[in-house]
A and B are shown apart, each in its own frame.
Chain A
Amino acid sequence: MNRKEFGTHVSASYNQYLEDLFNQILEMGSLVERQLQASVVSLQNADYDLAREVIQLDKLVNREEMEIDRLCVRVLARHQPTASDLRLIVSSIRIAVDLERMGDEVVKIARLVLSLEARVDIDCQNLQGYKQLVEITSRACDMVKNVLDAFTRMDLSGAAAVIEEENRVDELFALAISGVTKNFKEDKHDVECLLQLVYALRAAERITDHASNIAESVVYLVNGQDMRNMDATALGKYLALMKEE
């Protein structure tokens, strides 16, 4: 399936609506991407202003979600889309929800950075878990970039790569959590910092989950295939098939 298909209707306004919807999703995606990039930098450099910006940006992200809903309803009401057009609407709504959730999760990471602002006495940044958090967030950042590119290009192999990457991040997350658990048991670190770290790690991991969901929506949009009910082996086969394309 090709991106150009959405521009082939007789009605020019229909074409325009779908085009607007498409662009709006990527606009929202770029905001979330910006949030994520800013959160990575603010984690690395303990940049508190940037962390505040991340939280500010979330308001825009929420507004974008409403805008996408509005555009979807407009197309549904005026043109009763079918086939790939209908799939675009369905996946747009799903992607918007995922992006909005991502925005909320990034805010949690930014909150961790801000919670450290007042506490110069503790060295949260030197914990192993903190470094892994930076790593996971940065991976999440790449995943969001790749999944948005895959959406733009209707690129199945790009979407498959994101879904596979998510499994790798899960392993990283498990490792980081076990590290933090160990820190808890040692009883010599600041508990508040460790707790915040767990929240942030969980948030970063959730972001990669949402990225993977978006990748699934892309597959649904392109192939009409719902991947959510596949078991591990079927999924593996299907991913391999998609990568070949």
Chain B
Amino acid sequence: MYNSVDELQAALNEQDYIAERGLSVTIYLALKTGKPLFLEGDAGVGKTEIAKVLSTALSTDLIRMQCYEGLDVNTAVYEWNYAGQILHMRLMEAARGHSRDNEGLAREAMESELFSERFLLKRPLLQAIEQSRDGKAPVLLIDELDRSDEEFEAFLLELLSDFQISIPELGTISATVPPVVVVTSNRTREIHDALKRRCLYYWIDYPHFHKELQIVERKAPDVPAMLARQITAFIQDMRSMELFKRPGIAETLDWTAALIALDQNELSLETVQDTLGVILKYQDDVEMLDPTTIQNMIDRAKVEAQRA
């Protein structure tokens, strides 16, 4: 575990994650106080990445749970292996033959055997709690919580406050050391205050020029220096436009990879037009960028790249 914010920041940096001070402080406190981390921000700013990097840095497992509407206890926590149970039940019956002795006793035995750990399918949340109980607290990523519904949110609220899960047939399983929980949201709907209150909140913004340039250079070491600057300046410029979906860092990196694959040394009108689909995912947004606009943006990016 880390002893100061600087240490944590260095560790993140080593994993090629460039975190601003505020994020480092928040993560550090989350680790120290055992509180879940609640990250919000637009798509593609590195919310999910944090959890991955954190698990590598802490050398623990990453358990990821992608949220969606209708996510319920059966998919999030545990489920019984029904097919296995039915098969086993038939086998037990065959072994018992047709004797009708001690029927009540047999039924009880059957029940306890069928609802034992052998037929328990562990889903992400149970896995996380169990690993924490065994002293290997993993990083638990609850991704895009805004996609789930209120019912699941309410369940999560309970879980995040005591880190225990009760299975009626088996009993309660609780984590001795709470797992490192990272909750992310794209804000397609507002998450309830009660849940946010249990967490440490951080809003990840789009990075400024120098930080983004650093990220590009780190993640794509073979990119020509001038191209990296131009790409970053171009994307930064694009984010100031009124687009339906502004490109995130993920798009910047994808675009960089695309331009490298095309053996480009600098931005040109033709390549930008051809690769626009890597950055913009809405037709309305693509239409906003006619050749003149793109050319202007390229010119500006080149000037900016020289200056920076």
- The answer to whether A and B come from one shared complex is no
Residues of A in contact with B (beta carbons under 8 Å apart): none
Residues of B in contact with A (beta carbons under 8 Å apart): none
